[in-house]
Amino acid sequence: MALVSLIGGPLVAQTKVVLLGTGFPRPDPNAWGPATAVVVGDRTFLVDAGVGVERRMAAAHLPINGPTAVFITHLHSDHTLGLADLILTSWVMQRPKPLQMFGPSGLQPMVDHLLAAYAVDLKVRTEGLEHETLDKSRVVVHEVTAGGGILYDSAGVKVTAFRVDHGPLEAYGYRFDTPGRVVVISGDTRPSEALVKASAGADVLVHEVYSGSHLKVEDRPGGADWPTYMKSLHTSDVELGQLAERIHPRLLVLTHIIRMGATDEEMLAAVRQGFKGEVVMGSDLGEY
């Protein structure tokens, strides 16, 4: 493990948060698919796998041959479109062992179908001149049960899943207790009491957000129901400020940013109506 600081005697591994992708379903070349890395020493924990996740990992100088573990918040496509990329590219880049992946019910069949879809690729790479090892292409899926709980606990890092409210989808947020920091990642959710409880003592809260002042009916499927959808399944900037003021993280990082024409300054001002602590508008490849 990379040991970088001395606090009261024992060496402590540094913990940092890297936003690999801060986008949502609408394609934006400046905001790739949702994905966040929590890096503790030489271990990388990945939350969600949006479009371009492996290339974002490379851009952030993080391992392209597989993270220590993967945690999926929910099965919406924008959070999972990069799964095939993550599974297969990290394998081709010589992942040393099967990939450990945690997430909601339905994750196992999703992974099974992806591997089945790439059966030709797997066959050629293992039986041809590349001599890949088929066992290392495997993904060990752990579907979260009983609404959450501790999923990973090793060498000073504990990862706990907790249910959040994202409408009909089974969705989770994740809390990382590390030797140096407590990091909480909301996933997609409306304001959640479970998140408030799970975030007690958080140093960093990474939370989704949309602009409440720019919310309007859109010319798209759903049309007049779009504002209702957003209010029912997501968290506005004003709501997030109120939520963060109850949690009091040392740092609030905004991600999965749905602007709808709002400026960063407008959204940050809306958050600050309720939250008096430090808040930043997250950006792709930003480190916190």
**DSSP one-letter code for 26:** S
Q: Which residues of 162-201 are buried (b: 16+ CB within 10 A; e: fewer)?
A: bbbbbeebbbbbbbbbbbbbbbbbbbbbbbbebbeebbee
Are 21 and 30 in contact by the 8 Å Cβ rule? The answer is no
Measure CA 250 to chain center: 19
Q: How far apart are CA 56 and CA 32, in angstroms?
A: 8
3-state secondary structure of 232: helix
Q: Give the integer Cα–Cα distance in Å for 220 and 235.
A: 21
Residue type, 236: S
Q: Which two tokens stand for residue 88?
A: 């297969």
The beta strands (E) that lie in the chain are given as 5-6, 11-12, 15-21, 35-40, 43-47, 69-71, 99-103, 139-143, 148-154, 157-166, 169-177, 182-185, 204-210, 251-258, 278-281
**CA Rg value for the chain:** 19
Which are the catalytic amino acids? Answer: 78
**Phi, psi dihedral angles at 152 (to 5 degrees):** -145, 135
